[in-house]
Structure 1
Amino acid sequence: MNTELLGRLARAEAAAHARYGRTGETAHFGPLIAVHAGPELPINAAWHDGTRPPTAQELEAFGVFCAHHSQPQTVHLLSAFMPQGWTVLSERGYALDYVLHVYVHDLKRRPAAPPGDLREEEPAGWAAVAARGFGPGTEAIMDAVARAPGTRRFMAWLDGEPAAVAAMSMGEGVAAFHGTATLPPFRRRGVQTALLAHRLHVAAQAGADLASVFVTPGSGSERNVERAGFRLVGARLTVTRHPEALTRHA
């Protein structure tokens, strides 16, 4: 069951990832959708679409793309597809960098609509507040996230001030939640719980039947999504071909 579900999520995430290439380049290498969005952005990577493992030739072509754009050879894939893809990835020198947990929420069952001042925001204002929440150096990536086609941006206000932001994009009937940040003075006041519930309602109204979110294991974000009724269905694995592997496999 989870393999089918994670296949749906992989297709949705890979298609959504392609949107970031609007400011640079998007390229397809078999099941990999690669993006260069701008210099040194963390979204410069490839998403595996869940259909089949990449071939050695496709990974080689992806490596050429990355070298051309001076970006690391980084691939995101969901846990259901790691066993079949790991052989070719490891043979090409890829190693696991980090893991995020994958949660989903059936939109037929949603928490009550939250109270409070929750607004949909324009890109520049949303990106500015998001960068304040994530910290110095995140201005460029937050602007790229805010301006990606199809992204919906939400902001929670408290005491007449912006308190927190969150974003959502849709594909394959899945509403992908991302871009979550809370400004320090407003933490532990329930704003992210409200933004989760608000996006669940907005997603259902927009025609999605499922919501998904990636969170760091053991984090406050994981506890928030569990309390909001999300269930754990797998993991997102990020693998990178490191410089020493490039030399060894040249």
Structure 2
Amino acid sequence: MIDAVGNPQSLLLLGGTSDIALATAEKYAAQRPLRIVLAARESERLDAAAERLRKTGSTVVTVPFDARKIDTHAEVVDKAFAEGDIDITLVAFGVQGDNEQGWTDVEVAREMAEVNYVAPMTLGVRLAEKLRKQGHGHLVVLSSPAAERARRSNFVYGSSKAGLDTFFSGLTYALDGSGVKVTVVRPNYVHTKLTEGIKPAPMAQQPEQVADVIVDAVRKGKEQVWAPAQMRWVMTVLRHVPRVIFRRLPF
């Protein structure tokens, strides 16, 4: 279980090659060795991620996981919990996609919807069941400020994240009193493999900075956080800008 100062004994990283997920695992492993389950598509990147975390002294196992293969997700979750309870689960996979292709190419739109929304939602249902049965645990999901208001430049991606954000925000209510906590994290632009080739936005973050936000949010039991924290106020303002003005803003 998570101890009195917020340190877990076990982690499940869905999206086990995610830069943010790995940085978060290293933050926790710096306090004490962990049992870590990395779930991702089989690849050299997954092998490298496992080796990277083993250097922290942690025990690391890998589980094959493909977000778009929904019918395999029950088996993935079962394997992840096979060796015992999971203290913190981080849902950290996603695709950025190309917005112009996203609203003109059905397959591109479908991939973004399936990876960014359908897969996390169906996994969320299965994870909630597992965590309720064990009576404790913390579920952390990576959302985005793009979920809070659609923009011309990323409305397809934003729509998929909006679905994810709404589901897991609602799960915080549904799991109230079960011993299970949920945190929705909304990072601004982060320098990761996912954003390679995309022009950095203001207040861009490094994976380690987002990991700090995640660790602090879990320790304090926060249900929603932004990275950096200032993005909360930026989005509060943008949500209230009249539509006729908002559509003319240069982003």
Relative to the length of structure 1, the TM-score reads 0.29
Higher strand proportion (structure 1 or 2):
1
Relative to the length of structure 2, the TM-score reads 0.29
Higher relative contact order (CA 8 A, sep 6+): 1
Higher helix proportion (structure 1 or 2):
2
